[in-house]
């Protein structure tokens, strides 16, 4: 099995991991109610998605 000859420096390891940072969520405005909603997700306030209202059954 291959074994590294030298230890990798901190800067080299951190350069490799530079793309692993968590990016902020993409938010857009709901065309129905104007609330901020993540893209490709049903609006939690009004239930609007892709031109129609999705019904949510409340189980109480």
pLDDT the model gives residue 8: 94
Tell me if 16 is assigned to some domain. Answer: no
pLDDT by position in tens, the chain (length 60)? 899 999 999 999 999 999 999 989 899 998 888 889 988 888 888 888 888 887 655 555
Q: Which domain holds residue 51?
A: 25-60
pLDDT the model gives residue 21: 92
pLDDT the model gives residue 60: 55
**pTM listed for this prediction:** 0.51
Instruction: Give the chain's domain count.
Output: 1
Residue at token pair 């059954």: 57
CB atoms within 10 A of CB 37: 22
Tell me if 14 is assigned to some domain. Answer: no
Q: Residue 49: name the closest of 3, 38, 22, 11 by CA.
A: 38
pLDDT the model gives residue 52: 81
Tell me if 59 is assigned to some domain. Answer: yes
């Amino acid at each position: 099995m291959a074994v590294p000859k030298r230890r990798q420096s901190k800067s080299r390891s951190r350069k490799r991991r530079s793309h692993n940072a968590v990016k902020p969520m993409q938010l857009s405005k709901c065309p129905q109610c104007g609330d901020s909603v993540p893209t490709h997700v049903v609006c939690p306030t009004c239930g609007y998605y892709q031109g129609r209202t999705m019904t949510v059954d409340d189980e109480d």
